[in-house]
Amino acid sequence: MAFGPFLLLALMEGLVTAAVLALAAAGLSLVFGVMRVVNVAHGEFYMLGAVLAWAVTGMIPGPAALTFLAALIIAPVLVAALAAVADGLILKRLNYDPEATIVATIGLLYILQQAALSLYGPNANPVPAPFEWRIQLPWFGYSGYKLFVVLAALAVLLALWTFLSRTRAGLIMRATQVDRMTAQAFGINVDRVYMGTFALGAGLAALAGVLVVPIQQAQYLMGHDPLLLSFIVVIIGGLGSLRGTLVAAVVIGLSDGVISMFFSPTLAKILATLLVAMVLVLRPQGLFGARA
């Protein structure tokens, strides 16, 4: 294959990575922005989304498109419910202290990972794509489903943005983000906002997991990479800034795609992790962060 089409393929693969990453990172960013909680278990919610998608599509009979649609709804809702329980049982009792919650979510990470290993097993299992449709480009064929992932992620992010900027619940969330105490003084039930935010963040990660599973297979350790990449995206984009998260996801996704294809995936990840460490050291507000 010539260089041009090869680059195009790398960019398309990168765009798919970026789309999935943007969803997962938006969840992480939301949780950090509103609650000031760094959720280390975020990758496990992503993994649970994928594993539950496998379980749901396996249990419900019917055409692939229909069962996948069911998974797309059921898995994120279940994961969100689980996150809400974890919030009430653990995070709330820690008073959302930043350092204690990190330790607690590390513990949660181990618990969820072990639960997946014990109940689901160590194997990777495929989930059939909802439709088999290939786009035939002059140089190579490309999976239509991957394109669908990009569009679906865009739609969800647009919906999230509308929710945050146009609805009353979104307004309450933003108010809590800006000033927890004042929000409480105005009669906002901050505990419920936090629980809802944590559930929403986990649901977004799970949704990303469901979308990725026809491409990548479901496996109990799959949450590791998205966690690190989400951290990278959220930090480079500026913590708590949705627009920055989206831009950073595209940048990281595309460069990951290109470097992985032309050099090595490991090198791509080394560069990304070093980049994020240096961004935090030299420009703590992130490249697109609003706060000085």
Partner 1 sequence: MRRNGLRVWALHLALLAVLASAQFWLSPYLATNLARIMVLAVFAMGYNLAFGYTGLLSLGHALLLAAGMYAAGLPALLWGWSAGPAFIAGLAGGGLVAAVLGLLALRTAGVSFMIVTLMFAQAGFLTLLYFAPVTRGNDGFAVAAASRSFLGFDLSTDTPRFLAAFAIFATGLLVSLALMRSPFGRTMIAMRENEERSRMLGYNPFTVKLAALTLSGLYAGAAGAAYALLFGYVGASFATIQYSILPMLYVLMGGAGTTLGPFLGALLMFALVEAATGLTTAHQFIIGAALVALVLFAPKGILGTVRERWAKWLP
| Contacts with partner 1, residue ranges (CB under 8 A) | 38, 90, 93-94, 98-100, 102-104, 106-115, 117-118, 228, 231-232, 235, 264, 266-267, 269-270, 273-274, 276-278, 280-282, 284
Nearest to 288 by CA among 228, 253, 245, 229: 245
Nearer to partner 1, 44 or 156 (CB): 44
- For the chain, the straight-line distance linking the first and the last C-alpha, in angstroms and rounded, comes to 47
For residues 80 and 75, what is the distance between their CA atoms, to the nearest angstrom? 9
Nearest approach, Cβ of residue 201 and partner 1 (Å): 16
Nearer to partner 1, 210 or 259 (CB): 259
Nearer to partner 1, 117 or 159 (CB): 117
Nearer to partner 1, 102 or 124 (CB): 102
Nearer to partner 1, 68 or 231 (CB): 231
Task: State the Cα angle at 198 between 197 and 201, rounded to 5°.
Answer: 85
Q: Looking at 36-97, list the stretches that DSSP marks H as alpha helix, in order from N- to C-terminal side.
A: 42-59, 64-86
What tokens does 255 get?
């460069």
- From its phi and psi, is residue 40 left (phi > 0), alpha (psi between -120 and 50) or beta? alpha
Instruction: Supply φ then ψ for residue 134, to 5 degrees.
Output: -115, 140
Nearest approach, Cβ of residue 105 and partner 1 (Å): 9
Nearest approach, Cβ of residue 107 and partner 1 (Å): 3
Largest CA distance in the chain: 63
What tokens does 266 get?
């490991």
For residues 16 and 62, what is the distance between their CA atoms, to the nearest angstrom? 27
Nearer to partner 1, 74 or 276 (CB): 276
For residues 48 and 219, what is the distance between their CA atoms, to the nearest angstrom? 9
67 contact partners, CB below 8 Å, separation of at least 6: 56, 57, 60, 61
Nearest approach, Cβ of residue 53 and partner 1 (Å): 23
Residue type, 193: V
Nearest approach, Cβ of residue 268 and partner 1 (Å): 9
Nearest approach, Cβ of residue 263 and partner 1 (Å): 10
Nearer to partner 1, 62 or 107 (CB): 107
Nearest approach, Cβ of residue 83 and partner 1 (Å): 15
